[in-house]
Amino acid sequence: MRFVVTGGAGFVGSHLVKLLVKNGHEITVIDNLHTGKKENLDEVKDKIEFLNIDIQDYDSMEKNMKDIDGVFHQAALTVVQDSFTRPEEY
């Protein structure tokens, strides 16, 4: 099956990506690398498609959601203090 993993370069998302690849799925990772690290995907980088896209970019998201079977939404902003000082981003 073909899946999109948003936040796939983060800690949880990257582990999910590796598991999905191990089970033979085609994976597109969408991550803006705000808190994720592309290095988290080094062991599967040749087996996935990586797109540096912010999930708030609706046009890009729509464009890249064609012909997929499902989405694992792991993208999140994780700094609690920032949610108080910049709530519009959360």
Number of H helices, E strands in the chain: 3, 4
What does the pLDDT read at residue 81?
79
Closest CA to 2 of 22, 20, 14, 18: 20
pLDDT surpasses 80 at 90: no
| Stated pTM of the model | 0.89
Q: What percent of the chain has pLDDT over 70?
A: 99
- Give the sheet arrangement for strand 26-30, strand by strand: 48-51, 26-30, 2-6, 70-73
Q: In one letter, which amino acid is 87?
A: P
Domains of the chain: 2-89 (3.40.50.720)
